[in-house]
Amino acid sequence: MSSSANNEEQYQSNIDGPKTPKRTPMACQFCRGRKLKCDGNKPSCGNCDRRGYPCNYTPVSATSPK
């Protein structure tokens, strides 16, 4: 009548859920287009700030038209 014998420490590791993408420094549109190193400053990164460009951060979408 022992049903729960070795059923104790098998429920510990439950960290195999959804894959979390690596945290990469987000580059703004301008830096991305020019392949510049964006410092990720907000609301305006260094490059945009220096040139007086509007800095836009857009989330990465699945499909990126080239």
Residue 47, both tokens: 């490059």
Query: Which of residues 18 and 33 has its CB atom nearest to Zn ion in the complex?
Result: 33
Minimum distance of Zn ion from residue 34's CB (angstroms): 9
Neighbouring residues of 34: CB distance < 8 A, sequence distance ≥ 6:
47
CA distance 57 to 53: 12
Closer residue to Zn ion in complex, CB, 7/44:
44
Size of the site for Zn ion (CB under 5 A): 8
Of 18, 28, 52, 65, the residue at the interface with Zn ion (CB under 5 A) is: 28
Amino acid (one-letter) located at 37? K
Structure tokens at 36: 């510049």
Q: For binding to Zn ion (CB under 5 A), which residues are involved?
A: 28, 30-31, 38, 45, 47-48, 55
